[in-house]
Amino acid sequence: MSIENQSSNKQRVIFAGTPEFAAISLQALIEQQEALNIELVAVYTQPDRKAGRGQKLTASPVKQLALEHNLPVEQPLTFKKSVEEGQAARETLANYKPDVMIVAAYGLILPVGVLEAPTYGCLNIHASLLPRWRGAAPIHRALLAGDEQTGITIMQMDKGLDTGDMLYKVTYDIAADETTASLHDKMAELGAEAIVTVLKDLSHYQAQAEKQDDSLANYAEKLSKSEGEIDWTQSATHIERQIRGMHPYPGAYTFLVDPEGKSEPKRVKVLSAMPVNASQTTVVETGTVISVGKNAILVACGKESADQEATTLRLTKLQFAGSKPVTAEQVCHGSQLDDGDKFVAAPE
């Protein structure tokens, strides 16, 4: 039955999510409750976590938004029926008598018993064009892989990891200067628009559900901080994607060698860069600073392929340990870098 065609009884909707990405969709549903003929009966989110320098317990963005709008908030640790707390969480959810559950970056595994509890099941807002980039970090992985397109998939959840039938897709062309931060914000807005579209006529989209081709699937594993370490033997194109894909978290970084050898290499964050179209005019060891200029710091990188010339990366913003971010021009006028200095991997 179409949600928009029900005039007497509103669909009872549970929303489950945790970070800002999910909060954008929750805000859209709050604003569209009347138009969609829905009632948000409960919001599920991760338990409060310690955050900041003071390590104070902090509510998730989704919880903060829910409380602002006087929505009931549930924060179970588990839904496993094998433990008392999980069984109690299932019973609480069932008592809300949900017609549908919307899930966006919730961070808690939903067992089959929970997926089947709502009348129309659970819908997931996933930030990729499934089956590409199933898993925890689809936005990062799309940038790191150099994908030209990504998007949002509204999926009918099943017991697999992002394996459910696809109800609706929205495609987005990735800009050349896109970072994880900017792409996250665009995907969050697209996700909100997409779930509103689906809820306007849920039965229509469920009837046209498309199964995923598992042979085309790949997985977007959660990033580790070590993946931010720059390997200067890689091509400038590869490193530039790494810098964008790691911004703002976990961040791309390298280590600056002390030319006099009096101290250990110092960690430097690389905040933005651009590959140079032309290859190096001078063959130098990868990681070597070719020149420090007002517009960019040129660094020698590896080859795009074995039969091509070495490449060069233009660093435009850096952050030295214990200092604020600085532009190439500020570095040029300072004394942090000189021509011939060397960037290396983590010191052993």
Point out the domain boundary residue: 182, 200, 220: 220
Counting other chains too, the contacts that 300-303 makes at CB distance below 8 Å and 24 or more residues apart are 300/232, 301/232, 301/233, 301/234, 301/235, 301/236, 301/239, 302/232, 302/233, 302/234, 302/235, 303/235
Do 144 and 188 belong together in one domain? yes
So what's the pLDDT on residue 5? 43
| 40 residue type, one letter | L
Whichever domain contains 274, its CATH number is 3.10.25.10
Question: For the chain (length 348 residues), average pLDDT per consecutive 10?
Answer: 54 98 98 97 96 88 98 97 96 98 96 97 98 97 97 97 97 97 98 98 98 97 95 95 95 93 91 76 83 94 85 95 94 90 84
Point out the domain boundary residue: 188, 220, 252: 220
Do 122 and 168 belong together in one domain? yes
Do 254 and 207 belong together in one domain? no
Point out the domain boundary residue: 172, 200, 220: 220
Give the integer Cα–Cα distance in Å for 169 and 21: 17
Residues in the chain: 348
Whichever domain contains 72, its CATH number is 3.40.50.170
Cis upstream peptide for 325 (omega within 30°)? no
Please give the tally of structural domains in the chain: 2
Q: Which residues of 32-51 are buried (b: 16+ CB within 10 A; e: fewer)?
A: beeebbbebbbbbbbeeeee
Do 59 and 173 belong together in one domain? yes
So what's the pLDDT on residue 91? 97
Given the structure tokens 């697999």, which residue do they identify? 160
So what's the pLDDT on residue 348? 59
Do 212 and 70 belong together in one domain? yes
For residue 221, give Cα distances in angstroms to 115, 144, 161, 322. Answer: 23, 12, 11, 30
Q: Can you name the residues that pair with 40 across neighbouring β-strands?
A: 13
Give the integer Cα–Cα distance in Å for 88 and 319: 49
Do 208 and 249 belong together in one domain? no
Do 216 and 252 belong together in one domain? no
Q: Domain residues for 79?
A: 3-220
Spatial contact of 99 and 182, defined as CB atoms under 8 Å apart: no
Do 194 and 238 belong together in one domain? no
Binding site as annotated, residues: 128-131
Give the integer Cα–Cα distance in Å for 167 and 164: 9
Residue 236, SS3 per DSSP: helix
Do 48 and 194 belong together in one domain? yes
Record the pTM: 0.93
Neighbours of 173 (CB within 10 A): 9
So what's the pLDDT on residue 8? 54
Spatial contact of 220 and 137, defined as CB atoms under 8 Å apart: yes
For residue 278, give Cα distances in angstroms to 24, 207, 272, 308, 312. Answer: 42, 52, 19, 11, 8
Do 83 and 151 belong together in one domain? yes
Question: In sequence order, which residues have a C-beta less than 8 Å from that of residue 102 and are 6 or more positions away?
Answer: 13, 14, 15, 16, 17, 25, 29, 122, 123, 125, 195
Do 136 and 186 belong together in one domain? yes
Binding site as annotated, residues for (6S)-5,6,7,8-tetrahydrofolate: 128-131
Do 56 and 182 belong together in one domain? yes
